[in-house]
């Protein structure tokens, strides 16, 4: 078997396919062709087939893909066939939104710990979780088996939080703070960046307007 580097955009699309396959499954659709799925996902049929080809052959020639089967296979590829344990740093409004609102999340993810730097937030209970101080990160990450850290704290604290998470053994971080975290190379970081998206929109709106004015 050859070593093939998989572009990260492929992974992004797989997640999109999974999301839309779930919707098809709920609608009771059994089989879907790459053309139909591409239409739904806003991409190209060849792209879907190429993306899947990185991982194997999941379709039936002349027929298409069985929705449930493909969903299962993509889940396996992405690693969604297990429960992932999340630790939250920062229990402000954003943190609370993440903790409470499961509709912003897929199944398979559970918050098992939460931390904050503000003394008045310590010991507050949210569901099953008790908010702990940042100093408890090392102990609780190990105790609760946190695998992914979610940073939703003020930017000034974000790097410290990341350092503590990594020190405790966390290898994956979703960062909501608008700064670039510096971590060891074995740590995977994904940024969720509202102000970046706003900047992109500004540019598009600005250039669309200046084009109109001509």
Minimum Å gap between C-beta 28 and a copy of itself is 19
Q: Looking at residues 115 to 134 of the shown chain, list those that interact with a copy of itself (rule: CB under 8 A).
A: none
136 makes contact, choosing from a copy of itself, DNA, none, with CB < 5 to 8 Å by partner type, with: none
Q: Looking at residues 25 to 64 of the shown chain, list those that interact with a copy of itself (rule: CB under 8 A).
A: 41-42
User: Which residues have CB under 8 Å from 81's CB, separation 6+?
Assistant: 75
Query: Which C-beta is closer to DNA: that of 66 or that of 157?
Result: 66
Query: Which C-beta is closer to DNA: that of 32 or that of 80?
Result: 32
For residue 124, give Cα distances in angstroms to 14, 62, 133, 206.
Answer: 38, 57, 11, 45
Sign, CA torsion 149/155/159/164: negative
Choices 1-9, 82-90, 148-156, 179-187 (CB under 7 A): range interacting with DNA = 1-9
The answer to whether 46 and 106 have CB atoms below 8 angstroms apart is no
The answer to whether 81 and 75 have CB atoms below 8 angstroms apart is yes
109 binds a copy of itself (CB under 8 A): yes
Angle between helices 45-53 and 34-41 (to 10 degrees): 110
Q: Where are the alpha helices (DSSP H) in 119-177?
A: 137-144, 155-167
Choices 59-67, 123-131, 145-153, 190-198 (CB under 7 A): range interacting with DNA = 59-67
7 makes contact, choosing from a copy of itself, DNA, none, with CB < 5 to 8 Å by partner type, with: DNA
User: Which residues have CB under 8 Å from 136's CB, separation 6+?
Assistant: 115
Number of residues near DNA (by CB under 7 A) = 25
Give the residues lining the site for DNA (CB under 7 A): 5, 7, 9-10, 33-35, 43-47, 49-50, 52-53, 57-65
């Amino acid at each position: 078997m050859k070593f093939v580097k998989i572009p990260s955009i492929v992974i992004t699309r797989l997640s999109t396919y999974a999301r839309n396959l779930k919707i098809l499954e709920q609608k009771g659709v059994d089989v879907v062709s790459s053309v139909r799925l591409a239409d739904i996902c806003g991409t190209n049929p060849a792209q879907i087939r190429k993306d899947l080809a990185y991982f194997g052959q999941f379709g039936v020639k002349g027929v298409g893909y069985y929705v449930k089967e493909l969903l299962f296979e993509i889940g396996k590829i992405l690693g969604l066939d297990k429960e992932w344990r999340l630790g939250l740093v920062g229990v402000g409004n954003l943190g609370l939104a993440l903790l409470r609102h499961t509709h912003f999340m897929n199944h398979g993810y559970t918050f098992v710990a939460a931390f904050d730097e503000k003394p008045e937030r310590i010991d507050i209970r949210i569901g099953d979780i008790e908010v702990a101080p940042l100093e408890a990160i090392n102990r609780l990450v190990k105790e609760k088996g946190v695998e992914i850290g979610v940073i939703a704290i003020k930017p000034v604290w974000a790097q410290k939080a990341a350092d503590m998470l990594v020190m405790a053994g966390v290898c994956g971080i979703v960062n909501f703070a608008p700064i670039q975290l510096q971590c060891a190379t074995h740590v995977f970081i994904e940024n969720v960046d509202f102000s970046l998206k706003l900047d992109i929109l500004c540019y598009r709106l600005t250039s669309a307007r200046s084009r109109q004015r001509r």
